[in-house]
Structures are given as C-alpha cells and as structure tokens.
Amino acid sequence: MTVIDNAVYVAGRRAASPPTLARTAAALSEHGGFAWVGLYRPEAVQLNILAAEFDLHPLAVEDALLGHQRAKLERYGDTRFLVLRPARYLDESETVEFGEVELFVGKNFVIAIRQAESPDLAAVRERLEGTPDLLGRGPLGVLYAILDRVVDDYVPVIAGLQNDIDEIEAQLFSGDRAVTRRIYDLSGEVMEIQRAVRPLVGMIETLRGELETEYGDDPGALELRRSFRDVLDHVIGVVQLADEFRQTLQNALTVHATLVAQQQNETSLAQSEQTKRISSWAAIIFAPSLITGIYGMNFAHMPELESPWGYPLALVGMLAFAGALFAVFRSRNWL
C-alpha cells in the first residue's frame, strides 16, 4: 500500500517528482514528456485517483484491484492494460513463488502496480534512468524494460526446476515412495510457469505489430521492435523448456508407476513361491500324518497290529509317500 516512485520524464531525464498522485497529471501538463508511477499493493483510493487523472477504464481498474488475474494484454482506447506473472525460485523450500504486475500504458504515462515482492521494478527504473536513450522512447520503452526484467527473472526459476528434475530422475530408482508427491508438486509448478509465460508470446507479437502499424519505419519504433523481438526469443526459449519439463515429469511419473508395479509383481511372485513351498511341505507332512492318524484310532480289532511287519511297513509307507511327494514337488521347482 505504498507509492514506490512518482516521476515525470522528459527526453529520458527526470523532470519532476510530484509529491502526491493527485498532482501527477498537473506536473505532466507543465513539463510534458510522460509520467511513470510505481505502486505496491495500492488501496482503492490511490488507484481511483490515478483512474480519474488518466481516464483509466473501470474494468481494468477493477481487475487491478482484485488481482489474481491471468497473464493478458487488453486495450481500452489509447491505453494498454497488461497483467504479467513474474516468478522467483525459493531455494529453501525448492518451490516457485508467483507474483503479479499490472501495467497501464498510455501515450504519456505508465502506471506499474506490483502485488508481490518480485520483480524489483525500482531496479528497472534505476537502470532506465542510467540509459536516457531507452527511457527517451517513452512509455513503450518502459514497458519493454519491465517485460525484459520479468522474462529475465524466469531464468533462475528454470534453472531451479531443472535441478529438481535432475534430482527426481536420480530419486526414481532409489525406491523412495515420496518421489510421487514430489513429481506431482513439481508438475503443478511447471504448469503455472506455462500459464504465466505462454501468453507473453502473443502479447509481444501484438505489441510489435502495433508498433509497426502506428509508427511505421520510425527509427525509434524500429529499435523498440528489435528489443521486443529479443524478449520474444527469450520467452519462446522458456516456453520450450517448460514444455520439455512437463513431458519429462509425465515420463517420470509413468516410469515410477512401472517401477512400483514391478516391485508389487516381484513381491507377489515371492509370496507365491513361499506359498508353493509351504503347501508342498504341508502335503509331505500330511502323508505320515495320515498313516499315524489311522493307527492312532485305537480300535480293538486292527489286524495289522498283530503282524510283526506292521510297524516297519508303516514307516516305509510314510517315507515312501513323503519321498514321492518331495520328488514331484522338487521336479516342478516348488521346493
């Protein structure tokens, strides 16, 4: 809820620093050039003052106040309204934090509203004030510099995601079940990057087309078109890498599911082998148990009890029966 900076620039130099937002339009009328207002999470009162000063469209003002917008470029008369989704990689938590920047870009003003800690637009302003030629190109020069900073900030994010993916690929074969959750979370962050970056391709192409239509072969416009083209090349590179990351993570999830299924099959096979062994030994033990059970019934009239060969025959029968079962089970690799 802070006015970060409020200045009027003429020919690439700061000509005035209005003390209040309500004095910005008056200072602009007095000095000419263009105004650049930087805000951090403004209150509705502050934004409404600027809306009255620069005739901002109510729908765009409402979007800026509500926040949580998708990346987009809209035009209301001579004013462009852009929403950018900057990002930064947090090493401590290995996550990506997304911010939001709204820009109102008119013929003689830029209103930049930052809703998160990044990007550092004060550093962008400092850079431009050190390069009057670029600042002298007016609001579109400021727009280019902000876009360039947002896109540059995607580079360490991509590097952080690449490192996480490399770790996941190593973790896949370690047997760690937590890798599933990590793949799922990282896939969500990659999709957020895609949603933040992909619209920039169309937005920058539109801006380049408008520059060509409105300014033709003007040298300053041609240079700006080249600058936007450079940013576009970087954006396309980030989009391609994000697409590759998403495909890699989908493949990793498939591989992990295959490994888990393989482990489950191996466990099932091992359990099946144990079941075979237990069943085989149970059958082998059943043979002598059957014979001893018969002789243990204690009937009064059991003729074989009176035979002198009854006991050895019973032992031989038990051993033969058990041995035959053992040979059968062994031949089938159950034992």
Tokens of 287: 């043979």
CA-closest candidate to residue 231, choices 252, 214, 213, 211: 211
Confirm if 21 and 54 have CB atoms less than 8 A apart: no
Tell me, what amino acid is at 196?
A
pTM here is: 0.77
Q: Confidence band (pLDDT; 50, 70, 90) for 211? A: confident
Confirm if 256 and 172 have CB atoms less than 8 A apart: yes
Cis ω for the linkage preceding 18 (within 30 of 0) = no
Across the strands, what pairs with 105? 80, 110
Interval 298-323: pLDDT, tens: 655 566 666 666 667 666 667 776 77
Across the strands, what pairs with 75? 80
**DSSP code per residue over 301-322:** --GGGGSTTHHHHHHHHHHHHH
Q: At what angle do helices 139-152 and 219-295 cross, to 10 degrees?
A: 20
Cα–Cα dist 62/310, whole Å:
104
Domains assigned to the chain: 1-129 (3.30.460.20), 270-331 (1.20.58)
User: What sections of 139-218 are H helices per DSSP?
Assistant: 139-152, 154-171, 179-215
CA-closest candidate to residue 81, choices 101, 53, 52, 98: 101
Cα–Cα dist 53/21, whole Å:
9
Burial of 106 (0-12, 13-18, 19+ CB in 10 A): buried
Residue 324: how many other CB atoms lie within 10 Å: 12
Burial of 303 (0-12, 13-18, 19+ CB in 10 A): exposed
Cα–Cα dist 213/215, whole Å:
6
pLDDT > 70? residue 155: yes
Interval 106-149: pLDDT, tens: 999 999 999 888 888 999 999 999 999 889 999 999 999 999 99
Interval 51-79: pLDDT, tens: 999 999 999 999 999 888 899 999 999 99
**Higher-scoring residue by pLDDT: 122, 177:** 122
The number of residues in the chain equals 335
Cα–Cα dist 207/82, whole Å:
11
What pLDDT is recorded for position 250?
86
What pLDDT is recorded for position 35?
95
What pLDDT is recorded for position 170?
79
Sheet holding 2-10, edge to edge: 13-16, 2-10, 34-40, 109-114, 101-105, 79-84, 72-76
Confirm if 266 and 274 have CB atoms less than 8 A apart: no
Q: What is the 3-state secondary structure (H, E, C) of 211-242?
A: HHHHHCCCHHHHHHHHHHHHHHHHHHHHHHHH
**Number of helical H runs and strand E runs in the chain:** 10, 9
- What values do phi and psi take at 302, rounded to 5? -130, 95
**Whole-number mean pLDDT of the chain?**
85
Q: How far is CA 130 from the centre of its chain?
A: 35
Q: How far is CA 303 from the centre of its chain?
A: 85
Across the range 271-284, mean pLDDT stands at 68
Residue 259: how many other CB atoms lie within 10 Å: 14
- What values do phi and psi take at 162, rounded to 5? -60, -40
What pLDDT is recorded for position 91?
84
> Strands 109-114, 34-40: parallel, antiparallel or unpaired by DSSP?
parallel
